[in-house]
């Protein structure tokens, strides 16, 4: 005869809340559709099969959600996808720093914190070992968008307007127009005004 397991009720309540937040679409993100499946649909399908009425079913569903998210996050490390909540506008700036290897702005810079005053100070000159890319998971020398644009200027392009060397996450053979679009999406105004022909370069 099967006996039901005993679960920590606090854990079960938190798991139940998480499951219902997903099923009721309270945790949706703008870029969620870029993932290979819909989190909501996947959880709904699992709930239909296993049910979510007993503690044991909820425990199984919580384990499923955890495994699914961990697997998908592992897959996403090879892409530059920024998740943002609906309705929140991310301010674009030419001063934003990027990884010169993958183009992600998911980067960090080492700083010093005074434990007595909580005052934060930065080094006058930032070395590569002081910076970190969360996507590449390695130390990198951070670059502004303008610096990346200068680097792109050194990439050879063939007669078909295809790049002949890898650049950021763009492999050889990518149309330079696609790379231009990447830059344009990150410019405060547009690629033409901010990088191609900035006003401060006008004679």
Determine the pLDDT at residue 25.
63
The answer to whether 182 and 174 are in contact (CB under 8 A) is no
Element (H, E) at 184: helix 176-186
C-alpha neighbours within 13 Å on the C-beta side of residue 131: 20
Q: Return d(Cα 128, Cα 142) in angstroms, integer.
A: 8
Indicate the DSSP class of residue 167. Answer: B
Determine the pLDDT at residue 29.
44
Determine the pLDDT at residue 7.
65
Whole-model pTM over 0.85:
no
In the chain, what is the greatest distance between 2 CA atoms, to the nearest angstrom? 87
Q: Return d(Cα 141, Cα 13) in angstroms, integer.
A: 45
Residue with tokens 């650049």: 167
The answer to whether 164 and 157 are in contact (CB under 8 A) is yes
Other CB atoms within a 10 A radius of the CB of residue 181 amount to 12
Q: Return d(Cα 32, Cα 38) in angstroms, integer.
A: 7
Tens of pLDDT along the chain (203 residues) come to 444 556 677 777 777 777 776 666 665 444 444 444 466 777 787 888 878 888 888 888 878 877 776 666 666 555 555 555 455 455 788 889 999 998 888 888 887 787 777 787 766 666 767 788 888 888 888 999 999 999 999 999 999 889 999 999 889 998 888 899 999 989 988 888 889 888 765 44
Determine the pLDDT at residue 128.
67
């Amino acid at each position: 005869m099967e006996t039901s397991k005993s679960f920590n009720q606090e854990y079960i309540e938190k798991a139940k809340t998480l499951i219902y937040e997903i099923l009721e679409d309270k945790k949706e993100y703008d870029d969620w559709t870029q993932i290979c499946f819909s989190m909501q649909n996947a959880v709904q399908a699992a709930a239909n099969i296993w049910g979510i009425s007993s503690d044991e079913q909820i425990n199984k569903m919580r384990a499923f959600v955890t495994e699914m998210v961990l697997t998908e996050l592992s897959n996403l490390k090879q892409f530059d996808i920024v998740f943002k909540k609906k309705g929140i506008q991310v301010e674009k700036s030419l001063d934003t720093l990027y990884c010169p290897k993958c183009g992600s702005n998911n980067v960090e810079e080492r700083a010093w914190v005074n434990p007595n005053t909580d005052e934060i100070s930065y080094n006058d000159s930032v070395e590569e070992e002081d910076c970190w890319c969360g996507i590449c998971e390695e130390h990198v020398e951070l670059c502004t968008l303008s610096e990346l644009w200068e680097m792109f200027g050194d990439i050879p392009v063939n007669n078909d307007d295809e790049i002949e060397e890898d650049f950021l996450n763009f492999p050889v053979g990518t149309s330079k127009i696609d790379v231009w679009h990447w830059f344009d999406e990150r410019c405060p105004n547009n690629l033409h005004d901010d990088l191609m022909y900035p006003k401060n370069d006008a004679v």
